[in-house]
Structure 1
Amino acid sequence: MINIACVQETKWVGPKAEEVDGYKLWFSGKSGDRNGVGILVDSELTDQVVEVRRVNDRMMTIKLVVGRFTLNIISAYAPQVGLDEEVKRNFWKDLDEVVRGIPLTEKLFVGGDFNGHIGSYSRGYDDVHGGFGFGDRNGGGVSLLDFARAFGLVVANSSFPKKEKHLVTFRSSVAATQIDFLLLRKDDKGLCKNCKVIPREKLMSLGAWESRGDASSIWDRTSSCIREAAREVLGVSRGRRGGHRGDWWWNGEVQGKVEAKKQAYAKLVDNKDDEEKRTNKENYKMARKEAKLVVSAAKTVAFELLYAELEDRGGDNKLFRLAKARERKERQAWSG
């Protein structure tokens, strides 16, 4: 199960969000023929997204609150070799500002096409390069490693010994390169149990990127192939047992709507034909919308009761006012 995916070179225009086959896609782009980035989040996590920030057509970030952790996901697309040096400097400046603004107490994951080669060996970057890369290092790779060092990050791709086919992220008839990387904080390195490339040939054998049919059918076919490949290579995560049960805003109505959403999603991924798929997709969208509204309403009531109780106890001080303002802001961001 792919829970979150960072995508680049989307070439979709505008700062928008779309529901895509059981996922929500946030994207940012200025032109239909170049650049563009996006982040896909599966339906089980979209309710946890509290902030979306679109920096430009090469960078965007989302923030999620999952249990007691705050996660920041950055999707980045570095300028290609040969572009103006000013464009490259602006990219690294923007990425620097984004990461600098994320508290050290929050989790950070950067997934991007960095158009640089970090090389097979660490050679002077033992603190950020795990020693299991590919190819020869170039200027773009040095920039990435310097950035990782400056912010105490590690390149997850280089942390595991892999066959060449599980390191190479782009292959053509004349070259094979590793230009896509996942970075996370050194303190969180233990959270990354594996990092490998799913070979393009694997996806092609499943029918991914076939051009027949309309855009919707192409996406449905491609996303199904990616999920199948991910399930085979990465395994399946079943999530936390009990979900939100025990949270103080959880009630019977919320439980019923969430369960209905899960059942609708189960039917969606088990389609038998196109007509059934269209019907199940509409049913899922409706169930998800209803669940989101009920969760939002339950949280609103729960917070209002909490603040009323605090005020009755003489707790109407600056701390509680700040907490109330922050909660309202996050709720507005979440609902948007």
Structure 2
Amino acid sequence: MVNYVRSCPSDLGAGRHRGVLAKVKRTFRLRFGSWNVGTLTGKFLELADALGRCNVDIACFQETKWTGKSTRKVNGYKLWYSGAPKSINGVGIIERLKDFVVLVERHGDRLMLSGLGAGEKKSFWDSLDELVRSCPVDQRLVLGGDLHGHIGVESDGYASVHGGLGFGVRNDEGRTILDFATAHDLVIVNSFFRKRDSQMITFQSGLNKTQIDYFLVRKGDFRACKDCKVLPREAGFSQHKLLVIDLLLSRRATKTEKAVKPRILWKNLMGEAAERFRSETSSRFTKEIREGSHMEADELWTLLAGGMRETEKEVLGVTRGTG
């Protein structure tokens, strides 16, 4: 599932220096979340409350276990979800920027899970590959989810996509994630921020602690990433923990032209233009007075004034009407 959002209006500030107009540069902060929730049944409201407490603007859910394709609203958030005919898998995107969403595309309900066969895993990565390639290159891409692989602590040959601050021991699924990131010129954001283990571990079951949930962005957009971490205090809803990424985005305001009413170029009233204006005005007045002899005074005045303005425009010209 992928969606497109217009620029967020929550400006952090813009200004000008005394006597000098500054280029207005508006910035806004967005917090994305990724959460394998296990199921939305019976806890949708609580999950939305948790996102609100954590100031998450947009979150992607995995394993929603809801069937069909629809939307739901709760506590200022709107959820778009896509599920299988049976209550398995399922994904969704939940946002409180719902008024700025311009497009939502659903691409099935599949999720990378342990126990899937090699053919199903390949099908998943092929579908994800096609989806990423379809995203316009001039738009920001934030890819988050449970990818069920261990990228390991060290970068080891993947320095361009792995920041060297991972967790655990790399496995084959982790290498697939790294190869995918390399192929699409993405970086795995989790691996670029030094955190405590509790802020890196995204899944915990008993003594088993792993990092299998990730955020990926295009390399050119990485400078906008200000933080990426797990919020362990919201771990009570699932064995998976809420992973968040903070982006500080900037948008330089474009200079707008102030629309003004077109003006007659009186500066051209000289020489031959002045003689032509006098001649055409006199001729036009004579004709209009003759044709408007039956009119009331106000109507005749309106006719003469309109005729004069037309002559002025034809002979002298007018401005384009922009500042």
TM bracket, shorter-chain basis: 0.5 to 0.7
Q: Distance in 2 between matches of 1:133 and 1:32?
A: 35
Q: Under a length normalisation based on structure 1, what TM-score does the superposition of the two structures give?
A: 0.54
Match of 1:114 in 2: 147
Instruction: Output aligned runs, 1:1-336, within 5 Å.
Output: 1-42=55-96, 45-58=97-110, 77-78=111-112, 80-199=113-232, 202-203=233-234, 209=237
How much has 1:37 moved relative to structure 2? 0.5
Larger radius of gyration: 2
Could you give the per-residue CA deviations for residues 10-47 of structure 1, whole angstroms, max 9, x where no partner exists? 111111111122101001101453211000110xx212
CA distance in 2, matches of 1:116, 1:5: 20
Contact 2:67 2:87 in 1 (8 A): no
Distance 2:171 2:237 in 1: 31
Task: Give me the CA root mean square deviation.
Answer: 3.0
CA contact (8 A) 1:130 1:159 kept: yes
Equivalent residue number for residue 303 of structure 2: none
Task: Give me the whole-angstrom Cα distance separating, in 2, the residues matched to 1:22 and 1:139.
Answer: 40
Deviations 1:183-213 (A, max 9, x none): 00000001110000011xx226xxx549xxx
SS of aligned partner of 2:198: helix
What runs of 5+ residues in structure 1 fail to find an aligned partner?
59-76, 211-225, 241-245, 249-336
Is residue 11–residue 31 contact of structure 1 (8 Å, CA) maintained in 2? no
Q: 1:98 to 1:135 in 2, by over 3 A?
A: same
Distance (Å, rounded) in 1 between the aligned partners of 2:157 and 2:70: 41
SS of the residue corresponding to residue 216 of structure 2 reads: strand
**In structure 1, what is the Cα distance between the partners aligned to 2:208 and 2:197?**
13
CA contact (8 A) 1:28 1:37 kept: yes
Q: Which runs of 4+ in 1 moved over 6 A?
A: none
User: In structure 2, the residue corresponding to 1:94 is in which secondary structure?
Assistant: helix
Larger strand percent: 2
Cα distance in 1 for partners of 2:234, 2:114 equals: 27
- CA shift in 2, pair 1:190/1:120, >3 Å: same
Does the Cα contact within 8 Å between 2:144 and 2:216 map onto a contact in 1? yes
Secondary structure of 1:56's aligned partner: coil
Cα pair distance change 1:15/1:3, threshold 3 Å: same
- TM-score, reference length from structure 2: 0.56
Could you list the runs of 5+ residues in structure 2 that have no partner in the other structure? 1-54, 251-255, 259-323
Secondary structure at the aligned position of 1:194 is classed as strand
Q: Distance in 2 between matches of 1:174 and 1:3?
A: 32
CA distance in 2, matches of 1:161, 1:3: 23
C-alpha separation in 2, matches of 1:197 and 1:106: 26
Give, in whole Å, the separation in 1 of the partners of 2:86 and 2:168. 32
Q: Alignment partner of 2:124: what SS?
A: helix
The structure with more helix, counted as a fraction of residues: 1
Q: Is the 8 A contact 1:170 1:177 kept in 2?
A: yes
Percent identity over the alignment is 46
SS of residue matched to 2:141 = strand
2:71 is paired with a residue of what secondary structure? Answer: strand
Shift in Å at residue 49 of structure 1? 1.2
3-state SS of the aligned residue for 2:178? helix
For residues 118-174 of structure 1, the C-alpha deviation after alignment (integer angstroms, 9 at most, x for no partner) is: 011100100000110000011111111111111110000001011111000001113
